[in-house]
Structure formats: structure tokens, C-alpha cells
Structure 1
Amino acid sequence: MMLCDAVALPILLWVAFALRYSSVTPPVDGNWIFAAATISSLLSLYAFGFYRPMVRYLGAEAAKSVFTGMAASVVALAALSYMVPVMVPRSVFIIFWLLGCGYLGVSRYLARRWLGRLSTRGLQRRPVAVFGGGSAGAQLVAALQAGRELCPVLVVDDDLGKQGTLLSGVPVVSRQGLSEAVRRGRLDTVLLAMPTMPRHRRIALVNWLEQLNVRVQTVPTFSDIASGRARLTEIQDVVIEDLLGRDTVPPRRDLLGRCITGKSVVVTGAGGSIGSELCRQIIKLAPSHLVLLEQSEVALYNIEMELADLIQRHHFDLKLVAMLGSVVDPGHVERLCREFDVDTLYHAAAYKHVPIVEENPAAGVRNNILGTLAAAQGAEAAGVSHFILVSTDKAVRPTNVMGATKRFSELVLQAMAGRGSSTVFSMVRFGNVLGSSGSVVPLFREQIRRGGPVTVTHPDVIRYFMTIPEAAQLVIQAGAMAKGGEVFVLDMGEPVRILDLAQTMIRLMGLSVRDESNPDGDIEIVFSGLRPGEKLFEELLIGDASVRTEHEMIMQAHEEALSSEEVAAALQALRAVLDRGQSASLKALLCRYVNGYRPREEVEGEDPELPCIEADETAAGATTTAAAASGKGVH
């Protein structure tokens, strides 16, 4: 490049003289001026860093080097002409500076374009459109032009002032222009380059793009880029989770830290979806101790390694303890709470997969009910200040064993709080969390990538959805507001029809749904039927009574509860039936004590294995014996 400039610069100086004198043979007083101009220009440009960047990736910084380098060269030439007795008109220096800047800028631009085309020659780059003509869009277009896989052919922006312009040589068009390009088959992929767009606008935009039958991908948010978790060029499919919820409400810092900051905290089920996210949120709130209780060795190892890395990277000042064990183990939670002087316990340990628990009711009763009882009694005996149960919307008028056991767990804590306790017991109830084990979103995504079919249980099934981080934050805030015995219900937003979710995911991946109206589509949706214990609709409240709390996303439910004596009798009856391994009797007992529990067989008009109205003689006898022996209190 310097050799090319060494040839061009003296020619440009000669042209400057020719323009000044309006002659192709201008009078020049001494040829030394050409050598001086070449040497001074090259030295100035080198000093100002013009030759340092790679030509293929030259940016705006090159323009500054050109202007300042040529200006320094011209000043040096002008000074030299005054010291040496030679006649050089002053306008020659100005013309030479303009010509030099123009030559250097145009030559580098052409070289950059030529090198860029040379590097992509022969490549079959896929044409794409970039939606967003802001700074993120400009950076993405530049990155794609230098890449080897995608070629930006359009930039789409709703700003009328940008439409009709060029962004790095790519035309900026309206939505109508994008629709026309898709219709003509010019492209089949749209990249969203608007990381800061509010969720409601993003949802509306994706819904519009969905109708074009194009694949929609996105770039990371600026927060992810700034934190180092992602780069702008890391293009990925639209995260459907971002389209299901709503704009999150910022958490209240006073509620987040009330039961955690400076305190010793235990999380049971720490390796699960909700338990692990609770742990991630808790370590940011500066507890003195965080104790992880988990019965799965692999899950405990994974979450301990992840949290230890976070603590080291962010220099958090707390002691992390990993404890392998089960909440069903009598006295285990008490010993643990006493050893670490625990202040707050979040009980997230539970069997939650509806079909599995439906086939294994004894395991569900033992883990979800007796495990909650053992954990609560251990926490109470050790003087724990707050005990927060992570519950589920399936506990409301349940049609499955899992929901019935979670509702009975709520009844246990309500009874313990009702008889008076130094420990504040509370429950937090919410719906499905996105990204948890068993969630339909990753299942659908994998089925679509395999070419289908996508399995939906029923065309009318609907669910509430919430992201795991938001749910964990609200659980922490709800527990901080508890006075004892409250059932808190999280605002889950609007319910989502699962069939619509499946169709949206298919279309956003650039594919079409294969059905009767479109037999040549890409992905078929198959209805597999409701699984054992599954409901069409989920609810969050047993009754209609609920009141707002000091947090706009958290409600408090007012629901009827069992007395301490009734709960004690039911627990004794459940233990008696568990010892005999009588699954049908377990369901009968749950029917008796969980208000609204109706097994799906009964709901659908089938003959259940055991009538729900009354238990068999064994269960009834155990209930009577327990009621006589229990006295007062939950055992």
C-alpha cells in the first residue's frame, strides 16, 4: 500500500499544479518538491497510524488518519517552501490536501470491497434481511458482510426517515418491501437487531413476521453483550420464552433481602429447576451461609460447581455448603438447621412430573407430603424464622396425585401456622416455568429440529407460563411478606393455548404446519391425548377470594383449611396405607381430605379404581384410630 501511495502522491501534486495554473504543463520551480511531498506524506500517514489497520477491516478511524496525516504533510511542505527560495502558490497545498484525502479514501474503500468479495467468492451465502436500522443493525450488517455464511440483502426499519437510504450499501426498506422480497423468494430469514425493544412490541413484531412464513432469528440483548455472556454476532433462533410472558416488573430490593441478606439460608431440592434458580438469586443478596440440600448426587454436584464459580468470579462473601440427603429423612433438616443456625428455608424439593407421580402415588405422598412435614417440623424445632413452600397451580382442584399431594402439603403448613409457631410458614403458588425439566418448549423445539411430528396432548389445553428467574424472585419477595399461614399466588399473566404455541414455534423456524389445509407443509402436529392426571385448564385460586399485597405481582389467597387435629389424623391414615402399599387407598384418602380433588377418571365419567367418596375399610380404620390417638397438633 505504501508503494502504491509513493507512486500516486507525486502525480497528485502535479495535478494540483495543473489545476492551479489551468495548464497540462504547469510551471514548477524545482522538481525536489515532488520528492518532498511523497516523503512527508508517507511519514505523516505512518505516524498517524494510517498503515496499521488491516485494509479488509478498515473502519471510521481510517478517515481521521487520512485527514490529519495529509494535513501534517501539507503544513510541513508549506513551511519548507518558505524556507527554500522556491515559488509555490498557497492554493496548491490546499488542492493537494483535497486530492490526497480523496485518493486515499477511495483507494482503500475499493481495496476493502475487492478483498471482501475475494474472500466470499464461490461461497453460497444465504440471503437474509436485518430488521432494525439502528446501531445494532449497522454492526450486524457489517459483521455479516465480512462473514462467510449469511449475506444481508435488505435492512427493514419502521422509521420513515431511514427508508430509502443505504446502510453499508444495503437498502433500507419498509415492512411492505420485506413482504415483497419474501413473496419473490429473495430471502427466507429475518434477523432481529433490536435488543432493547420492549417485550410487547417484540411480540407484536414476531406475530407479524410469523405470517410471512420466514425463519426469525435474533441477536443477544445489550445486557448480555455488556456482561460478556454473548456477542452481537451470535445469532440464534427467537427465544419463544421471551414471547410468552410480559414485561417483567423490577423486583423490590427491600423485599428481596429481607429474609436473606446477612442470614443463613437453606434451599431443599437445590438441584432442581426452581431450587437452582433460587440459589442463583440468593447468592446475589449476600447471605452469610447458603446450604444446598439435594438427594441427587449429580444435581448437587452440578449446582455446587456452578455456584462456586459465580462466587469466585464475583467475589461474593458467603459460605457455600452442599449437603446430600432427603427431606424425608426424619431429623435430617433439624440437624442441618441447628448446625448452620439457619434463619430461612425455601422448600423446593418435590416430585412434580404429573404422569410419573400418577403411576407412583406412594412415592409422591412420601416425598411431597411427609417430606414437607419432616422439613417443616425440623425447621420449627431448630428455630428457623421463615419456612417458604414452593407450591404449584396444580394444587387447585387437582385431577392428579401430584397436585393433591402439593395441596395437602399446603394444608400441613396452614395447620402448623394455625396452632401457633415461632416459625413463619407460608406458601407460594404459581404455574409452569419456562425451561424447567419437562417443559413443552424445549420438547417442541427438539421435535421440530428432528422434522416432527410435534405432539400436543389436546387441541384445547392451555397453560400459564413464567420465566424461572422471575418466578424465583417473586418467591423470595412473597416469602418476605409472610406473617404466617399465607398462600401467596403469583400473577402469571395471560394463559397460553399450547396448540398456538406449537404452531408459532414451527413458523418462527421458517417452516410450515402440515394439516388438511396445507398437506405439503413441513411439520405435522399430532394430538396424543391427555396424560394420566393432566387437566385442560390450570387455575391459581381454589375460591374467588384473594387480596392484593404490597407487591403488584403477588396476591394472597383466602382459602379454607383443615384443623390441626384433622391434619394429624389424615397423616396417620396416610402412613398406615403407605405401609401396606395400597395405591387406591391413598387416592381415596387424598379425595377425602383435599377439597376439590377429583381423579381424571371420575371427571371423564369412568369408574375409578376406588370410589372417591369413601375410603376402604383399612383407610377408614386408620383414620379413626389416628383421630383418637392424635390429640392435638400435627404429627
Structure 2
Amino acid sequence: MPLKKLETLVHFLGLRPDRRAKQIIAVLFDCSAAMLALWVAASLPANHVVWPDLRNIGLYALSPLIFLPIFVRYGLYRAVFRYSGAATIKTLLVALGLHLLLFVPLMLLSWSYVGLTHPRTAAFIYAILFPALVVLSRFTVRFALTSSNRRAPVKLMIYGAGQAGIQTADALERSLVYRVVGFLDDDPRKVGQVINNRRVYDMADLDSLVNLQALDEILIAMPSLARRKQLSLLAELKQWPIKARILPSMDDLTSGLVTFSNTRKVNSIDLLSRAPIVPEHGLMKAAVEGRTLLVTGAAGTIGSEICRQALEFRPSRLVLVDHSEFGLYQIAAELTELAGSRQIDLVIKPVLGSVRHYKRMRSIIAEARPHTIFHAAAYKHVPLVEQHPSEGLDANAFGTLNVARAAIELQVPSFVLVSTDKAVYPHSIMGASKRLAEMVVQALADDPAPQFDGNIEIIRKSTHLSIVRFGNVLDSSGSVIPLFRQQIASGKAVTITHPDVTRYFMTIAEASQLVIQSSVMTSGGDIFVLKMGDPVRIQDLARRMIELSGNTIRDEKNPGGDVAIEYIGLRRGEKLHEELFHGPDVSGTEHSHILSTREPFPRWADLSIDMQTLAVHLGRDDVDAIRAELTRLVGYRSLPDRSLAGERAGPPERPDSPRTPPFQAILRQRETGAD
């Protein structure tokens, strides 16, 4: 019965052809092959059909009793037929040889004893026929499975006729999916050469090659090529309707397992429109070496990266605080392994706790006695916090107050709040709660002896409090990058809120290094911001990700492209453009790429009363009162839902004029001294 019909029958009967079922089928086939080989071996020399009877039935049973244990011992029924190769066939022949060595002498004795004619000839026929049937079955199944999924091969050219390109071509030669047409190279000494029957062409020939060869893809196989040159080459190849991908590393090449599924995942650094910012080694060392550091939100994207970056500069102790049990376990295990591999001697202490509980935070900080607290715990997802404003305000604003208060009362030398550019002229509850958190830190930093909850005890503050304000962090849990990557990988449309929406971007490493360095640059109350270059249009970011992943954009100009871009509208609380400062009062710092600003804030004596009022609204879960109070305190202005699923969905809005000078204009004013 043909393999396809057999599979259809199995499915029709309600059986799943899982691995166990396939193994049983293979055993039954081998037993049938042995029966057939014995019957033919007995009948051919006698010139008539010799049916099994009482004299020789034992021999028919003996054959499987011998070969089945051998086949199982050699793992022949664990082998995947689809991928059976030379090694599998070699193992199969060894097992068959061992079976024949044991069975054929018994076969000769048995058939000579019962008087069968020509027992030696019969034994010879069996020794040829049974192995042939077993080997042929494996090849038949492999051919059927591979041919059923075979398509026209992808015509591929490899850019780079060096060692990496040649090894890649040799590896792909064994693939049924790709056919290497030739090489491309910009080295005139290589152009025109023939390497393993593949010609080396110049880039000038590509136009004709695309048309004549019906070329499908180009693989850039030059891992040593500078990243900027690789990206420039990808941009140059965009003028042709073909895919282009970048090979990962030489390690992947030498493994001999190079396929397009192994090509490099789009690196977040590739998406920056600027060079990554390098930290000042002296600042990092001064902030970390030999010190006890406490990180809240240690299981989150930023908190965990702060821990990784700090570990490299050998702190004496890392105290990891988070309310996620599993996340805390994961980061503690990772850091312990990392410290061991680096031979760094430090104490790593994971502590379960929520920043929403002041007494718990005070207890943790009192026991840890840290030199610096990096407060990264927060709810950051704009739409979710918009749906749960009480939760967001409690965690972001009151959580910050709880940790900062405990730090001041326990005389912790340094406290750093991780904030966001969404706190500037906030249009969302998340942004408003973070702006309120900033104001709390600013007010406490300015007050030499802040009072809490009407406590008449005067605390002479020795804690330096500062703030770090981020743009969007590439590849963080709330970033669009993981979403875009998932959508591109699955072939779905990449969803963007608005064609004009822009954001400032920084890498996870840059964000974490900024936090650490700022802890030794502050005199108290500073807001630190990284020079992130110009804001990036999310549409451009999506297009670049699609192209860097080796796909083409599907639109009106290219209806046959791989991935489309779909606009879904701005959701409630989302702005077209983010701003980094409330005003132009910006100054430089010890790091050439880190800026500092001071912004207006209320006195702690006044703000503490407002916080108490908010706490009452929070206790009642009075969302309308919370929104009204945030509007009064931080200038919160709610934006309606303009997504396609929103009640007031409509045409996209044009960008508003920024209320403060653009980031680059502020930098130019500061550098030239202009007003």
C-alpha cells in the first residue's frame, strides 16, 4: 500500500501516526520481510512453493527473535527515517550482519535436519534478500517523505567569495531547498573566477542576474564585515525585488548546519539611527565597586540589566527586590551563574516584596543597608495602566514614595528613580503617575528635613536623590520590537498605531548604564537624560526590521511582498510624539552624552498634603477623582482612544507642535551658548 494511502487510512481510522505507531509499523514490516525472505529462500531452490509447516515453522519464528533484539540494541527503531543518511545505513548493515552471523548457521542446521533441498543455496538467498528488503524499506520511506514536501529550490547568490561564503555554499549544496547560483564580490581579483563550479560575479552584473537567473535571495556571507557596511549593503540591495539576509557568525558556519533559519536575528543595535553610547568606565566603577546595591523591580527588563551591568564592576552585594517569585528566581540564578563564570566574589540576595508596602520596604532596606538604591519597579504598559489607574498610581507614585522615604529614614547615601519621557506633559495615567513620582523625588531631594505622616521628628536628610528619564528602551518587555519581531516571524502584518508616530530610543544596556552612572553624578534632585539623537518614526523602524529580517514589504507598489504594515490608530493615552524636558534648562555632565535638567516642583510640605488626598481617592478607587487630582498636580490631559477598536475611532491626527524646543534644538542652544 502506498505511504500516502497508509497515512490517509490511519487518519481515517482516528489514529495518530505518532512515533510509537511508526515504530510498530517498522517492526511489523521487518518481520514480514523476514517471513517473505525465508519463504522465497525455501521455494526457489526446490522449483516449487514450499509452505511453512510443522517441520520448519520454528525457523520462521526464530528469525525475528534474533534480529529484533539486535535492531533495538542498535537503535534502528529510534532513527528518524526522513533524515536517514550514511551513518544510519552503516549501523543498519552492522546489525544485519550480526543477525546473519547468528541466524544463518541455525538455518543451515535446521533445514539440513528436516531434509530441505539445497539448504546452502536457500541460506544464500535469505542472506541477500532479507537485508535488501530492510534497506530498501528505509530508502523508500525517506524518498516518499522528502519528495512529498519538495518544492522548486530557492535560487540563491552568496555575497562574499571568501572562506565563509565557500563554506556556506558547500553546506547549502546538500539542501533540497536552496540552489546556489554563484557568488557576488567587490574584489576585482576574485571576479570571473570559478569556485566549485560556481562563478564569481561583480555587483554590476546583479541587474542582469536577477532577470536571467530569476534570482530569489542573496545571502551576505561576510561575518567580518563591519556592521555599518553590512547595513549599507542591505540598503543597496533594496533596489532589486529580492530578499537579502546576513549570515550570523563563523561559529555557525563551521558547524556545517547553516540554513536560513540560522541567519542572524535582527539586532536591536541595528535599529538605532546612531552609534551606541559607551559608558565612562570611571563612573561605572565609582558607582559599583565594593558597594552594596539594592535594585527594586530586579526581575524586570531594566532592573535585571542594571544587575548584569553592575556585576561586571564587582559590587560586594546585590540585593534583588521584586514581587514576582518566578522572575526573582530566574534573575538570581542567572546572576549566580554569571558571577561564577567571571570568578566574581559577591553576595546575591533575592528578596520577595512589593514597593506598595512601606513597612516591608523599610524592613528590607534596614537589613540590606545598601549604599545605593536603584528604584526600577513600576507599571509601564500604557494601555494596561490606563485601564487600571488605581493600580498604576499606587505602584508608580506611592511605591516611589515608600522606597524613597525608607531610604531617607535609614540614611541610604544614594537613591535613583527610573522614570520615562512619558512623564513630560503626560497624556496617560502611566505618564502622570511617573511625573508625580518624579515630583516626589524632587521635593524630597530639596527638603533638608522632610516629615512623613505628621511625624514631628526632624530627620536630617543625607540621601542624594536623583532621577533618570528614559526614552523607549529597545527590546524591553513593553517595547514594540518583540511584537514586531513576532509578527514578522509569523508572516502577520506589522501593526503601527499611526504613520507619523515617533519615539526616542535607547538600548537596554544604555538605559542601565545611564542609571548606574547617574548615581555618582548627582548633587540631589537632578533629572538625567541620555543624548538619544533624533526621534525615530515607528513606521521607519518597522520597515527597517522587515528588511533586516530578509523580508520585503507588501504594499501597493509591491503586492507580492512578504509582510504588510497595518495602521490601527492611537490608543487612549498614547501621544504622537514624546518630549524629554519640560523646558530648555539643560546642562552637561561629566559624561559627554548625558544631560542634566532641573524642572519646577512643589515643596514637600505642600505635595505631602496632595499625596494624602490622592491616597484617600485611591482607597475608595475613585477613578474620576484620581484623574482630576492628577490633572491639577501634573497637568495630566487625557487623550481619547483613537484606535480602530475605540469608541471614537477616526482619521489619524496630525502631530501637534511641541511645547518645548525640540531635543536637537536644545542641544544646539547649549553647545553654542545661544538663548
1:477 is aligned to 2:517: yes
Partner residue of 1:242 out of 259, 263, 269: 269
Contact 1:274 1:472 in 2 (8 A): yes
**Aligned CA distance change for structure 1 residues 205 and 541 (closer, same or farther; 3 Å):** farther
Cα offset for 1:229? 13
1:415 is aligned to 2:443: yes
Question: Hey, what does 2:240 align to over in structure 1?
Answer: 212
What is the SS of the residue equivalent to 1:436?
coil
Question: Hey, what does 1:396 align to over in structure 2?
Answer: 424
Question: Hey, what does 2:579 align to over in structure 1?
Answer: 539
Partner residue of 2:563 out of 523, 526, 534: 523
Question: Hey, what does 1:378 align to over in structure 2?
Answer: 406
In the TM superposition, what are the counterparts of 1:417-436 in structure 2 within 5 Å?
A: 417-420=445-448, 421-436=461-476
Cα offset for 1:217? 2.5
1:455 is aligned to 2:495: yes
Question: Hey, what does 1:464 align to over in structure 2?
Answer: 504
The alignment yields a C-alpha RMSD, in angstroms, of: 3.2
In 2: Cα distance, 1:510 partner to 1:575 partner: 52
Question: Hey, what does 2:482 align to over in structure 1?
Answer: 442
Counterpart of 2:271 in structure 1: which amino acid?
L
In 2: Cα distance, 1:255 partner to 1:146 partner: 53
Moved more, 483-492 or 544-553: 544-553
Question: Hey, what does 2:625 align to over in structure 1?
Answer: 585
Identity %: 42
1:348 is aligned to 2:388: no
Q: Deviations over 1:94-124 (max 9, x none)?
A: xxxxxxxxxxxxxxxxxxxxxxxxxxx9997
What is the SS of the residue equivalent to 1:259?
helix
What is the SS of the residue equivalent to 1:389?
strand
**Aligned CA distance change for structure 1 residues 315 and 510 (closer, same or farther; 3 Å):** closer
Cα offset for 1:366? 0.3
Question: Hey, what does 1:611 align to over in structure 2?
Answer: none
Question: Hey, what does 1:549 align to over in structure 2?
Answer: 589
**Aligned CA distance change for structure 1 residues 448 and 603 (closer, same or farther; 3 Å):** closer
What is the SS of the residue equivalent to 1:250?
coil
Count residues with an aligned counterpart: 485
Cα offset for 1:319? 0.8
Q: Deviations over 1:364-413 (max 9, x none)?
A: 11000000010111122222221111111111111101011111111111
Q: Deviations over 1:179-229 (max 9, x none)?
A: 43334454322223343444443332222223334333223357x889x99
1:190 is aligned to 2:230: no
TM-score when scaled to structure 2?
0.66
In 2: Cα distance, 1:560 partner to 1:169 partner: 72
TM-score when scaled to structure 1?
0.70
Contact 2:500 2:537 in 1 (8 A): yes
In 1: Cα distance, 2:419 partner to 2:187 partner: 46
Partner residue of 1:302 out of 330, 337, 344: 330
In 1: Cα distance, 2:255 partner to 2:347 partner: 26
**Aligned CA distance change for structure 1 residues 183 and 326 (closer, same or farther; 3 Å):** farther
Partner residue of 2:206 out of 153, 178, 183: 178
Counterpart of 2:284 in structure 1: which amino acid?
L
Counterpart of 2:347 in structure 1: which amino acid?
K
Contact 1:217 1:238 in 2 (8 A): no
**Aligned CA distance change for structure 1 residues 388 and 554 (closer, same or farther; 3 Å):** same
Cα offset for 1:163? 3.1
Q: Show structure 2 runs of 5+ residues with no match.
A: 1-85, 87-145, 449-460, 649-675
Moved more, 480-489 or 166-175: 166-175
In the TM superposition, what are the counterparts of 1:145-156 in structure 2 within 5 Å?
A: 145=173, 150-156=178-184
Cα offset for 1:489? 0.4
Counterpart of 1:599 in structure 2: which amino acid?
S
In the TM superposition, what are the counterparts of 1:269-348 in structure 2 within 5 Å?
A: 269-348=297-376
Counterpart of 1:451 in structure 2: which amino acid?
G
**Aligned CA distance change for structure 1 residues 342 and 191 (closer, same or farther; 3 Å):** same
What is the SS of the residue equivalent to 2:356?
coil
**Aligned CA distance change for structure 1 residues 472 and 142 (closer, same or farther; 3 Å):** farther
In 2: Cα distance, 1:521 partner to 1:151 partner: 21
In the TM superposition, what are the counterparts of 1:122-161 in structure 2 within 5 Å?
A: 126-134=154-162, 136-145=164-173, 150-161=178-189
Cα offset for 1:135? 5.1
Contact 2:160 2:222 in 1 (8 A): yes
In 2: Cα distance, 1:237 partner to 1:511 partner: 13
Question: Hey, what does 2:533 align to over in structure 1?
Answer: 493
In 2: Cα distance, 1:221 partner to 1:560 partner: 50
Cα offset for 1:508? 4.2
In 1: Cα distance, 2:559 partner to 2:241 partner: 16
Moved more, 509-518 or 477-486: 509-518
In 1: Cα distance, 2:590 partner to 2:160 partner: 39
Counterpart of 2:618 in structure 1: which amino acid?
L
Contact 2:305 2:509 in 1 (8 A): yes
Moved more, 279-288 or 439-448: 439-448
Counterpart of 1:242 in structure 2: which amino acid?
I
Contact 2:194 2:200 in 1 (8 A): yes
1:598 is aligned to 2:626: no
What is the SS of the residue equivalent to 1:128?
strand
Contact 1:354 1:400 in 2 (8 A): yes
Contact 1:213 1:510 in 2 (8 A): no
Moved more, 559-568 or 407-416: 559-568
What is the SS of the residue equivalent to 1:391?
strand
1:252 is aligned to 2:280: yes
Cα offset for 1:601? 3.7
Contact 2:379 2:430 in 1 (8 A): yes
In the TM superposition, what are the counterparts of 1:226-237 in structure 2 within 5 Å?
A: 235-237=262-264
In 2: Cα distance, 1:195 partner to 1:477 partner: 33
Question: Hey, what does 2:608 align to over in structure 1?
Answer: 568
In 2: Cα distance, 1:172 partner to 1:180 partner: 14
